[in-house]
């Protein structure tokens, strides 16, 4: 493991990415809340403890906020933040211990009412009441207060009246809670009790998802795993249970404080002994927690490293007993951060430096150099050895925290000295199996089997969610257990490798448009990217068939070959860019890209072509029979030149900037000029 501690100022900012390292407290808070600089500055002036830039909600306030967020996630589902004025329609918010002030986009008020209004059957927040206030509308639930700032009573009542056809109930404050509503409210509170603090902390930092939604979508939802509820973030199309502050490697100042679990703070000494003795009973000296931690972390049991492990365990015990770090227990425990060690394996994040890193490395330089010498080997450079010693202490602390925050609800394992550890269980909601394995060499694998999906028929009918190396077999078990939380919900996001088709296609409207397909797409092929390969595509494709002849076809000379091959220009482009492609038997395989049939295919697999690419390829593929690339290119160029490009740009929900419009207008007819044309575009853009 390579982990370099960089002494930012203040030192609580360890773990913050270098691009954010110099941000002042006001700017850090704005990243999470979306507040204006003035509002953030005023609120920070009221805080007694600047170690935490976002105040933690009281227990009753957190419970109500959790129910609000849960209802909003259910109502919004997967959505584009740019179309809703912010994630879940939230432009900004101001968190206080006993109140949450929320500013939503005006267009989202009806959607919020639909999401929050209580119904005897279906979603909503039971017991929620409203009252007018000088700054807006106040929503109350038991001991929670949420203020919708900037919404006057007239606007609110008009919005309520427009939603009355739904038989929804969002009552004013003077209406008492009715019996069945009270029962439903108690049920909702119980359902979310285990993650209420986590949901509240996430809502109070909701603008942190902006940087994670790089494909434009916000996707938050909850799922049950082994009886426990978890919050999943899938903004990039890859579900992860990592908390927002951990997945972004943010400084401790943006982490939430919370409440220690009801059973009391975890004991890292007992936890490390438990996991190592349970998984690897043949390993000697398990009666000593420091020796067990060395083994868990993949270290030799040298006296210097054992002493370092004892120090790390002592620091871990203090950290786990501190409510300021209660979020370590959330989201499947600290093993989630340890899963980021293989670079890019989880969310592309660097490992988040744990709370206590400053304390665990606060040893004399001579001790740090001695520890570093046992991990780095002989080196005349004391500065390198000192850094290596720091790294090793943080490494030990990481694994102590991971073992201690292992969820109480966990899979049962069968352990064997030869075969390793194995755990299987039925996959909830499907006729499949979730299998976890951890080899004696520390390699863990999490995969789903026997799924019976068409696109997996020739691929062993297995989806491998994660396969990585860990320092030991016990560590591999910890990481596999954490990865399994995400694996149980991965299928709607998983694609087969050859044609990039979703294993579970998304539902689509009967008559999709280019705009609606763009709105739901994980990946959009834009004209600039398309233009960058046109010259090379012309060299690769001598001749291509038209859409009516079939984009993809089984090789008639090899009937036993299950693979199909690209025939049309669209198919060659899809193959080049790894876009989802239709099977030969599907209606879309014989339809142009601007047809309803092909748009339904793209929508089902959450892929899109921008309007300019769509126009070019639709025209190029309308020529039936074999035609050269030059002939199809001429047809595509003619279509773009005869089209009102401004009207075409209106089909895109993303801004179409002037350089792109110039690129489209200037596309040459002669394929020999395509390379120089694109180079000129790059030069002008730079």
DSSP for 382-429, please give it.
HHHHHHHHHHHHHHHHHHHHHHHT--SS----EEETTTEEEEEEEPTT
Residues in Cβ contact with 569 at an 8 Å cutoff, skipping those fewer than 6 apart:
537, 541, 544, 617, 620, 621, 629, 632
Query: Number of C-alpha atoms within 13 angstroms, CB side, residue 134?
Result: 0
CA nearest to 675, candidates 505, 534, 501, 523? 534
DSSP state of 212: T
Residues 396 and 293: beta-carbon distance below 8 Å:
yes
Residue 605: strand, helix, or coil: coil
Q: Would you state the pLDDT for residue 168?
A: 57
Query: Number of C-alpha atoms within 13 angstroms, CB side, residue 444?
Result: 26
Q: Is the torsion defined by CA of 113, 114, 117, 123 positive or negative?
A: negative
- In the numeric block, which tokens belong to residue 297? 């972390």
- Percent residues over pLDDT 90 in the chain: 68
Q: Would you state the pLDDT for residue 247?
A: 85
Q: Would you state the pLDDT for residue 11?
A: 27
226: left (phi over 0), alpha (psi -120 to 50) or beta: left
- CA distances, 518 to each of 238, 307, 594 (Å): 19, 57, 13
Rounded (10°) angle between helices 268-279 and 473-487: 100
Taking the C-alpha atoms of residue 356 and residue 391, their distance in angstroms, rounded to an integer, is: 13
Residues in Cβ contact with 653 at an 8 Å cutoff, skipping those fewer than 6 apart:
80, 82, 83, 515, 518, 519
Report phi then psi at 495, rounded to 5.
-120, 145
Q: Would you state the pLDDT for residue 378?
A: 65
CA nearest to 141, candidates 104, 86, 196? 196
Taking the C-alpha atoms of residue 368 and residue 2, their distance in angstroms, rounded to an integer, is: 16
Residues of the chain with pLDDT under 50: 1-19, 165-167, 343-348
Q: Would you state the pLDDT for residue 485?
A: 95
Answering whether pTM is above 0.85, one says: yes
CA nearest to 617, candidates 685, 522, 533? 533
- In the numeric block, which tokens belong to residue 76? 């919004």
Residues 401 and 328: beta-carbon distance below 8 Å:
yes
DSSP state of 256: P
- In the numeric block, which tokens belong to residue 671? 């394929």
- Angle at CA of residue 447, ends 443 and 450, nearest 5°: 145
The alpha carbon of residue 550 and the mean position of all alpha carbons in its chain are separated, in whole angstroms, by: 36
Q: Are strands 99-104 and 129-133 parallel, antiparallel or unpaired?
A: unpaired
Taking the C-alpha atoms of residue 252 and residue 398, their distance in angstroms, rounded to an integer, is: 15
DSSP for 286-328, please give it.
TT-HHHHHHHHTT----HHHHHHHHHHHHHHHHHHT-GGGGGG
DSSP for 40-51, please give it.
HHHHHHH-S-TT
């Amino acid at each position: 493991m390579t982990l370099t501690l960089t002494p930012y100022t203040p030192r609580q900012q360890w773990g913050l990415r270098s691009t954010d390292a110099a941000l002042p407290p006001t700017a850090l808070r704005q990243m999470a809340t979306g507040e204006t600089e003035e509002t953030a500055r005023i609120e920070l002036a009221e805080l007694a403890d600047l170690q935490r830039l976002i105040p933690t909600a009281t227990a009753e306030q957190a419970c109500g906020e959790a129910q609000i967020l849960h209802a909003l996630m259910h109502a919004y589902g997967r959505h584009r933040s740019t179309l809703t004025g912010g994630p879940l329609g939230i432009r900004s918010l101001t968190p206080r211990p006993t109140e949450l002030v929320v500013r939503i986009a005006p267009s989202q008020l009806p959607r919020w009412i639909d999401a929050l209004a209580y119904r005897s059957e279906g979603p909503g927040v039971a017991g929620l009441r409203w009252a007018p206030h000088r700054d807006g509308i106040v929503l109350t639930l038991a001991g929670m207060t949420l203020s919708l700032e900037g919404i006057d009573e007239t606007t609110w009542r008009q919005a309520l009246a427009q939603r009355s056809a739904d038989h929804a109930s969002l009552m004013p404050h003077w209406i008492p809670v009715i019996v069945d509503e009270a029962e439903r409210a108690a049920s909702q509170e119980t359902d979310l009790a285990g993650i209420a603090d986590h949901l509240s902390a996430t809502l109070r930092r909701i603008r942190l998802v902006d940087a994670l939604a790089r494909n434009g979508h916000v996707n938050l939802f909850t799922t049950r795993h082994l009886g426990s509820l978890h919050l999943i973030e899938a903004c990039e199309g890859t579900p992860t249970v990592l908390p927002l502050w951990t997945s972004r490697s943010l400084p401790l100042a943006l982490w939430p404080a919370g409440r220690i679990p009801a059973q009391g703070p975890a004991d890292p000494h007992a936890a490390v002994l438990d996991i190592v003795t349970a998984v690897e009973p043949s390993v000697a000296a398990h009666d000593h927690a420091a020796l067990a931690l060395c083994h868990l972390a993949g270290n030799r049991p040298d006296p210097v490293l054992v002493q370092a492990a004892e120090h790390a365990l002592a620091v871990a015990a203090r950290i786990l007993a501190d409510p300021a770090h209660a979020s370590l227990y959330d989201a499947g425990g600290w093993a989630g951060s340890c899963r980021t060690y293989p670079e890019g394996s989880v969310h592309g994040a660097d490992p988040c430096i744990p709370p206590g890193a400053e304390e665990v490395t606060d040893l004399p330089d001579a001790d740090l150099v001695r520890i570093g010498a046992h991990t780095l080997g002989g080196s005349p450079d004391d500065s390198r050895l000192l850094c290596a010693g720091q790294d090793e202490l943080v490494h030990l602390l990481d694994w102590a925290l991971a073992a201690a925050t292992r969820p109480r609800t966990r899979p049962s394992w069968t352990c064997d000295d030869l075969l390793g550890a194995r755990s299987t269980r039925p996959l909830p909601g499907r006729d499949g199996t979730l299998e976890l394995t951890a080899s004696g060499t520390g390699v863990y694998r999490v995969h789903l089997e026997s799924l019976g999906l068409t696109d997996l028929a020739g691929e062993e009918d297995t989806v491998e969610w994660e396969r990585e190396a860990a320092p030991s077999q016990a560590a591999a078990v910890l990481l596999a257990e954490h990865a399994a939380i995400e694996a149980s919900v991965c299928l709607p996001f998983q694609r087969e490798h050859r044609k990039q088709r979703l294993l579970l296609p998304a539902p689509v409207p009967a008559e999709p448009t280019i705009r609606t397909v763009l709105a739901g797409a994980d990946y959009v092929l834009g004209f600039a990217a398309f233009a960058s390969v046109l010259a090379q595509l012309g060299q690769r494709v001598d001749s291509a068939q038209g859409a009516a002849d079939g984009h993809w076809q089984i090789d008639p000379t090899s009937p036993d070959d299950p693979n199909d091959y690209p025939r049309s220009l669209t198919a060659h482009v899809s193959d080049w860019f790894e876009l989802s492609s239709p099977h030969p038997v599907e209606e879309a395989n014989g339809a142009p890209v601007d047809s309803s049939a092909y748009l339904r295919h793209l929508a089902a697999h959450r892929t899109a072509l921008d309007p300019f690419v769509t126009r070019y390829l639709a025209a190029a593929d309308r020529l039936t029979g074999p035609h050269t690339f030059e002939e199809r290119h001429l047809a595509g160029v003619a279509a773009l030149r005869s089209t009102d490009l401004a009207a075409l740009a209106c089909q895109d929900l993303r801004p179409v900037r002037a350089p792109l419009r110039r690129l489209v207008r200037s596309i040459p007819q002669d394929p020999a000029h395509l390379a120089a044309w694109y180079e000129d575009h790059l030069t002008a853009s730079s």
